C-alpha cells in the first residue's frame, strides 16, 4: 500500500533529470513593460533523496514520512515497534547504540547514502514532574528517550550524509517549551528538549562547510490522537481555558507539521541552519489572562 501511494505520486509528477529543478520560472512582460516572474506549480522537492524518519511510529512520524514520500523522497522508517512505514521499514531500539549504528548501516548499504534525517523523539512521561520531585530514574529515562536518542541518530546517520549530489539536512524535533519557563511539571522533558536545540546549533555550525544543515523544529501542540484524548479527559471547561493561551485558538495540524519538516528538508531552506525553527502558533509570544 505504501509503495502504491508513492508510485502514484511519482507517476503524476513524472521523472527525469529535469526534476532536479524544483521550480519552473516563466518570465512574462506585463502591460506596463515591467518584467514579472511567475512561479509554476511546485514539483517534488525531495525527489531521489533518501529520507530517514527515526521514530516513524505514531501520528507525527507517519505524517512526516508520508509528506516526504509525496515530495518524491525515498523514505526509510525506523521505530522500536514493528511497522510498515516507508519503502524500507526497520525495527531498532533507538536508545541502543549498537542497534542504531546497525540500522543506519543497513540504510547506507542499501542506498549508498542518507540525505535527510528527521528525528522524531520526545514522548511525555507521566512520572516527569517538578525537578524537585522527579526521581533520578525518571529523569534519566526522559533524558535518554529524547536527548540521547537524538544524539545517537545524529552520531550514526551524519557520517553517511553529504555523499551524493544533494545537501544533507538533519531535523531534530524540539518543543516550544524548551525556550520558556515552566510553572508546572515535565521539567526533565523541557531540559532534554533544550539540550536537543543546543545540540542542533552546535552540529549546524560544525557541519556547515560540509554542506549538511542541522536544525531543531520547536513544535507546539499538534492535534494527534493522543492530544485529542488528553483534552477530552480534561472536559470542555478545562479545554477552553487552555485554548485561551493559544493565540490561534487551535492545535497545529499534522499536515502543517509535515509541510514544515519538508521545507526544512528541502533546498528551499538552503540558508537555514543551526537554529530552532518555531511551529507553535505564537504561544511563546502571547500574553493572556485566564
Residues 216 and 179: their CA atoms lie apart, in Å, by 12
What does the pLDDT look like over 164-205, one tens digit per residue?
899 999 999 999 989 887 766 789 999 999 999 999 999 999
Q: What share of the chain is helix, strand, coil (3-state, %, to 5)?
A: 45, 20, 35
H helix runs in the chain, sequence order: 2-13, 59-70, 97-111, 136-143, 149-157, 187-207, 225-234, 236-243, 254-265
Degrees to nearest 5, angle at CA 260 with 258 and 265? 95
pLDDT at 70 over 70: yes
pTM: 0.83
What percent of the chain shows pLDDT beyond 90? 68
Please report, to the nearest 10 degrees, the dihedral formed by the alpha carbons of residues 280, 282, 288, 290 taken in order.
-30
Estimate to the nearest angstrom the gap between the alpha carbon of 104 and the chain centroid.
18
What does the pLDDT look like over 103-122, one tens digit per residue?
999 999 999 999 999 999 88
Backbone angles phi, psi at 216, to 5 degrees: -100, 140
What does the pLDDT look like over 35-67, one tens digit per residue?
333 333 356 999 999 999 999 999 999 999 999
Degrees to nearest 5, angle at CA 37 with 35 and 39? 170
Residues 20 and 13: their CA atoms lie apart, in Å, by 12
Amino acid at each position: 500500500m505504501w509503495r502504491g501511494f508513492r508510485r502514484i505520486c511519482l507517476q503524476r509528477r513524472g521523472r527525469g533529470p529535469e526534476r532536479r529543478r524544483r521550480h519552473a520560472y516563466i518570465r512574462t512582460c506585463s502591460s506596463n513593460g515591467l518584467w514579472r516572474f511567475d512561479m509554476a506549480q511546485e514539483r517534488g522537492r525531495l525527489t531521489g533523496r533518501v529520507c530517514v524518519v527515526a521514530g516513524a511510529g505514531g501520528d507525527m512520524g507517519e505524517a512526516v514520512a508520508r509528506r516526504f514520500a509525496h515530495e518524491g523522497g525515498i523514505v526509510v522508517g525506523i521505530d522500536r515497534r514493528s511497522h510498515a512505514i516507508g519503502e524500507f521499514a526497520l525495527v531498532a531500539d533507538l536508545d541502543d547504540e549498537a542497534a542504531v549504528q546497525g540500522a543506519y548501516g543497513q540504510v547506507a548499504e542499501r542506498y549508498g547514502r542518507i540525505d535527510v534525517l528527521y528525528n522524531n523523539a520526545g514522548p511525555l512521561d507521566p512520572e516527569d514532574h517538578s525537578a524537585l520531585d522527579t526521581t533520578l530514574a525518571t529523569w534519566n529515562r526522559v533524558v535518554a528517550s529524547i536527548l540521547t536518542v537524538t544524539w545517537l541518530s545524529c552520531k550514526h546517520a551524519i557520517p553517511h550524509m553529504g555523499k551524493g549530489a544533494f545537501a544533507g539536512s538533519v531535523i531534530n524535533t524540539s518543543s516550544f517549551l524548551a525556550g520558556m519557563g515552566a510553572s508546572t511539571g515535565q521539567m526533565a522533558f523541557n531540559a532534554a528538549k533544550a539540550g536537543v536545540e543546543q545540540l542542533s546549533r552546535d552540529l549546524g555550525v560544525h557541519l556547515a562547510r560540509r554542506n549538511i544543515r542541522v536544525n531543531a523544529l520547536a513544535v507546539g501542540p499538534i492535534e494527534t490522537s493522543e492530544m485529542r484524548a488528553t483534552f477530552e479527559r480534561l472536559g470542555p471547561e478545562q479545554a477552553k481555558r487552555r485554548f485561551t493561551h493559544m493565540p490561534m485558538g487551535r492545535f497545529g495540524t499534522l499536515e502543517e507539521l509535515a509541510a514544515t519538516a519538508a521545507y526544512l528538508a528541502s533546498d528551499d531552506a538552503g540558508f537555514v541552519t543551526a537554529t530552532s525553527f518555531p511551529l507553535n502558533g505564537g504561544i511563546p509570544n502571547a500574553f493572556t489572562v485566564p
